Amino acid sequence: MMIPRAAKTQRRTRIQEEKEEKILEAALDVFSANGFRGATIDQIAEAAGMSKPNLLYYFRTKEAIHRALLDRMLFTWLEPLQAFDPEGNPETEIRSYIRRKLEMSRDFPRESRLFANEIIQGAQHIEDELKGPLKELVDEKAEVIRAWIKAGKIAKCDPYHLIFSIWSTTQHYADFDVQVQAVLGDKSGEGRFEDAARFLEDLFMRGLAIKPATG
Amino acid sequence: MMIPRAAKTQRRTRIQEEKEEKILEAALDVFSANGFRGATIDQIAEAAGMSKPNLLYYFRTKEAIHRALLDRMLFTWLEPLQAFDPEGNPETEIRSYIRRKLEMSRDFPRESRLFANEIIQGAQHIEDELKGPLKELVDEKAEVIRAWIKAGKIAKCDPYHLIFSIWSTTQHYADFDVQVQAVLGDKSGEGRFEDAARFLEDLFMRGLAIKPATG
DNA sequence: TCGATATTTGACCGATTGGTAAAAGCTTAC
DNA sequence: GTAAGCTTTTACCAATCGGTCAAATATCGA
């Protein structure tokens, strides 16, 4: 007899792994482009190249697909902030945080939009993660920034809003890409990410009164 | 005989005006919370306190409601940037632009989310407006900023990315409000907007190497 | 090769979707 | 008051929605 999916404790077959991968890949396309309510199982199934019942054999509900996507992404998404090093010096740390976040916007725009959709629409599926792990991580890193301020290494400012401003400016290039491209017009090749990096690094370095190392 | 809606050249009755207003108000709630695809006419009708066919008497399609909302909002949304004055001095202009945009995030979060949803999901309904009026306006104001740079009034930087960064940082407090509140926790009363204003004004003033007038 | 299990399919379900038809009820100018 | 036009409702439609079921088929270890 077939073992119900819920009871499976470990991955079984190669097919399972492949198909689940294909489904999540397709779901990322669809959810990031339409939000949870706007996405349909049929769309995902078609994008994944399989029938709807077949898809539902691997994920029992639309919610389950969405959950799986968010779960796998949450870690990745927080990773750059995790890497923020208390021992490092502010210039290096903030510069590379900006650069990393910008690279993620460039290389994983769908992931960024998946989150953006989710949060804009009320974050009903990840409320706990926001108030738990995310908040804790931000609290921790805000403390690091506060220490830098106390040590006179960067200008006095609210660490939380500093973090928000880095999030928003960098994610903008993924989430609002069509707008950015519409405004920049032909000028916007892939160079827009490098221009953005230069601009943002300058803005934040000067804004935090960090003088660039001239060594 | 009843004159078909499309042929009406001018507003007729008081009732029409009132009901259309009610529908758009309700639609703003629903579209901003779910995106276009995720919103349903039934939801809007219920929020507006009327039957679906009754609603469809005033707007023939879901698209028409959405269009009407976007049309009425686009002007309002660009107004702060319009007000950007070439004759003014950079400090005043940029400070007040930030403040205005932040006030809009505070006072009209649904409007902000309506646009955010629309753009994240590909801007299919406002592509023309982005590439037309918006681009022209931004081009014009970028020229103003460029002039300030040439005159040595603010630090050298890419004017387009400067505008993007002001958009993203300010709109963040409307679009990602649940995340902001989750992270700030109890600390976040309405004070978060004033904290944000202080932070952003400092960041951009220093970031653009504008020394605050000490007169 | 064979049987057990894993995968896929087609046919289907009730609920919800965007939207329509027609008639009933309501306003308003005359 | 009444008729013409404006508004609202009831009943309905086909298409799509998320999801189920049983049967058919493919895979794989012994």
Q: Is the CB of B180 under 7 A from strand C?
A: no
pLDDT tens readout for residues B130-154 = 999 999 999 999 999 999 999 999 9
Query: Least CB-CB distance to B178: which of A39, A122, A209?
Result: A122
pLDDT given for residue A34 in this prediction? 96
Would the pLDDT of A201 be above 50? yes
Average pLDDT over residues A109-117: 97
The three-state secondary structure class of B200 is helix
- Residue A3 pLDDT exceeds 50: no
Those of residues 43-82 in B touching chain A at CB distance below 8 A are: none
pLDDT above 60 (res B7)? no
**pLDDT (tens digit per residue) in B119-129:** 999 999 999 99
**Which residue, chain included where needed, has tokens 């809007």?**
B44
Q: Tokens 């649904």 identify what position?
A: B110
Residues 6+ apart with CB under 8 A from B92: none
Residue B15's pLDDT is 74
Average pLDDT across chain A, whole number: 91
Closest CA to A97 of A169, A173, A8, A150: A169
- Name the percent of chain A lying above pLDDT 70: 92
Instruction: Among all protein residues, pick the one whose CA is nearest to the C1' atom of D8.
Output: B54
On whether the CB atoms of residues A32 and A67 are closer than 8 A, the answer is: no
In this prediction, residues A118-147 reach a mean pLDDT of 96
B167 touches chain A (CB under 8 A): yes
Considering only residues A117 and A84, tell me which one the structure prediction assigns the higher pLDDT.
Answer: A117
Most B CBs within 10 Å, among A176, A208, A210, to test the B interface: A176
CA-to-C1' distance for B53 and D11, Å? 11
Residue in A with minimal Cα distance to B29: A121
Which pLDDT value is given to residue A6? Answer: 36
Q: Name the protein residue, with chain letter, whose CA is nearest the C1' of C20.
A: B53
Q: What is the pLDDT of residue A187?
A: 75
Q: For residue range B51-82, list pLDDT tens digits in order.
A: 999 999 999 999 999 999 999 999 999 999 99
Angle of helix B109-120 relative to helix B14-38, nearest 10 degrees? 50
Hunting for tokens 């963040």 — which residue is that? B172
Helix/strand/coil for B125: coil
- Confidence band for B12, pLDDT divided at 50, 70 and 90: low
pLDDT of residue B6: 36
Q: Indicate if the alpha-carbon torsion angle A44, B172, B70, B26 is positive or negative.
A: positive
Tell me if B196 and A161 make a contact (CB, 8 A cut-off). Answer: yes
pLDDT at B17 over 90: no
| Chain A residues touching residue B155 (CB < 8 angstroms) | 202, 206
Predicted local distance difference test score (pLDDT) of residue B10: 47
What local confidence, expressed as pLDDT, does residue B212 receive?
66
A202 inside 8 A of chain B by CB = yes
How many other C-beta atoms are found inside a 10 Å radius of the C-beta of residue B75? 10
Contact A34 B121 (CB under 8 A): yes
Q: Decide if A173 contacts A193 (C-beta within 8 A).
A: yes
B127/A35 touch (CB, cutoff 8 Å), yes or no: no
Q: Across residues A45-58, what is the average pLDDT?
A: 97
Does residue B215 surpass a pLDDT of 50? no
